[in-house]
Amino acid sequence: MTERLQKYLARAGIASRRACEEYISAGRVTVNGETVTELGVKVEPEDVVYFDGRPVKPEPLEYHLLNKPAGVISSVSDPQGRRTVASMASGRARLFPVGRLDQDTTGLIILTNDGALAHRLMHPRFQVDKVYLADVEGVVGERELERLRRGVRLEDGMTAPAGARLASRHGGGSVVEVTVHQGRKRQVRRMLEAVGHPVLRLHRKRYAMLTDDGLPVGAIRPLTRKEVTGLQKLVMAGKR
């Protein structure tokens, strides 16, 4: 697969793509023995690339699905020493999470080293559905569900319309299924609190077409080729 040199270097773990562009301009990269300073250069898989005198090669692309437990941080590392989603994929390539889940939220999160796909999956323009089950305080009525469907005004502005339905009721509480394609910080929790129903527990049960069926909380599995192709087609089409 032909790709731009800066992307090749970024996939090899050298640095971010922007930093790699600076390294190329500074003459720190050679391709097949020749120093390259132009950013438009493309490389083939068989090309020999050196950075600062040492050979580099991108890691194979990997895609994994984690059912995140509560208490785990959605990041690669944590200065406070808390457990991270990346640590749950130890022994694999340098993987990073696609988006985030709150520390107390359980559910599905994709781990990959495919930056291009991750960007598209996270970008609101591609409207990738994320489906949550929220156990909330109080009995949720049709009025509150309709507010979620129209969009809710939060301190950082209106949310996009969401899918919302009552999944069940229990005692003095309710379980609401909420579908969003934005990725604001603690968005689902804030939306439900705004309509009068604070969240007790939150779980993401579906990401795009991927579900938690057969994947218990705390488990991780590689995505199948069919699943990866499905995600790629989804974001390339720009449709749900």
Cα 14 to Cα 39, 42, 57, 92, 188: the distances in Å are 16, 17, 10, 17, 36
Q: Would you state the structure tokens that stand for residue 235, as one six-digit string?
A: 């974001």
Amino acid letter, 191: M
Angle at 18 between CA 15 and CA 20, to 5 degrees: 50
Residues facing 29 on adjacent strands: 36, 51
Active centre residues (catalytic): 102
Q: Is 91 exposed, middle or buried (CB count within 10 Å of its CB: 0-12, 13-18, 19+)?
A: exposed
Interior angle at CA 53, CA 51 and CA 59, nearest 5? 45
How far, in Å, CA of 87 to CA of 56, rounded? 24
